Amino acid sequence: MQPLTCVPQLMSQESFRLADPVQPEVPTSVRTPRRALSASSLNAYATCERKWYFRYVCNVVDDPGSSAASYGTAFHEALEAFHKVYMRPNPAEETAMRRDLAAQLDRVFADPDAKFSHAVERELQRRRAIRTAERYIDWLLAEARLHPFTVVGCEAHAPLAIDGYDFTGYIDRIDRDDTTGDVTIYDYKTGSIAESAKEYLTDVRAGTEFQLPFYYYARSQSGEKVVRLSLIPLKDSLTPVRPVAIEITPLVEKDLDKARTRMGKLAATLIEGSQDVYRVATDPDACTYCAYTLSCRNRPVPADEKFGR
């Protein structure tokens, strides 16, 4: 009988050949695909060039989404549907308004396209949104009592060309004052926002924030008198809704103008040029909700993570 053996059979020298040594790839610069840019994409670029590269150039790394993002999308959808019905918020309709906004939130949070990690998370976020919506209606009615207005746009398309480069975006809400005809542009914020107009304008001047300047020029170009830009916080269900309002003054216009100039320059750099290196963020806070952390080997490491290693 043949004895069992654990020694593998050696292959003859002729049966295989070593592969040729791999040559290192020659680095090449990357060009941005030519398409309309958005103010939020430039915000992303200003925060972290690498994030921008992953999202807008590679377009291959799948964003798994997050509970915070789903909460934001659902809230925006509900408010859009709500204001298409309630275009002239009227304190006499308060009960119906509260009921209908809650119903819109129930609808969007029940949609399977709203991705939450599990049913409990979905329910908690739905309840949070309904409580926040109560605060929103409080604020809306107070505004309507002070100076009646009409909602003239929800998720309004806002195209704008700057220095020959196309930009595009969608404005959450546009109101027209019923007495003066003046326009206010609103951006709903379900995440963290600047705490004051001063803080927001500091970011505008620093060239890291473009959203409201972009909306301002997109609407002003058609002859509308935009007198106010406003961020509406919809994150915290326990505190009253107090928008961060930026009144348009000659001084503020100078800041907005700087942002527009910077947008044109950035568009030229991104679209006409090519880039060898997309630098990572320097502040680890930028990575907290980034969808690309697993693909990003050079990201800044927070101090507590460094300590744990």
The binder of ligand SF4 chosen from 293, 301, 305, 306 (CB under 6 A): 293
- How many residues would you count in the chain? 309
Binding mask 258-287 for ligand SF4 (x = CB under 6 A): ----------------------xx----xx
Which residues, 6 or more positions from 262, have their beta carbon under 8 angstroms from its beta carbon? 207, 210
How many residues contact ligand SF4, by CB under 6 A?
A: 13
Q: Contact between 44 and ligand SF4 (CB under 6 A)?
A: no
Provide the minimum distance between the beta carbon of 130 and ligand SF4 in the complex, in angstroms, as a whole number. Answer: 32
Of 98-106, 148-156, 158-166, 293-301, which segment contacts ligand SF4 by CB under 6 A? 293-301
Q: At what angle do helices 250-272 and 211-220 cross, to 10 degrees?
A: 100
Q: Per CB under 6 A, does 55 bind ligand SF4?
A: no
The minimum distance between CB 105 and ligand SF4, in angstroms, equals 30
The smaller minimum CB distance to ligand SF4, of residues 152 and 206, is found at: 206
Nearer to ligand SF4, 148 or 300 (CB): 300
**90 lines the binding site for ligand SF4 (CB under 6 A):** no
- Helix/strand/coil for 161: strand
The count of other CB atoms within 10 Å of the CB of residue 166 is 14
Q: To 10 degrees, what angle do helices 67-85 and 119-146 make?
A: 40
CA-based torsion, 45, 47, 49, 50: positive or negative: negative
Crossing angle of the two packed helices 197-206 and 211-220, in degrees rounded to 10: 90
User: Which of 48, 171, 231, 267 lies at the binding interface for ligand SF4 (CB under 6 A)?
Assistant: 48
Q: CA-to-CA distance for 284 and 77, rounded, in angstroms?
A: 31
Closest contact distance (angstroms) between CB of 25 and ligand SF4 is 21
Distance CA 151, CA 97 (A): 15
Q: Which residues form the interface with ligand SF4 (CB under 6 A)?
A: 48, 50-51, 54, 280-281, 286-287, 290, 292-293, 296, 299
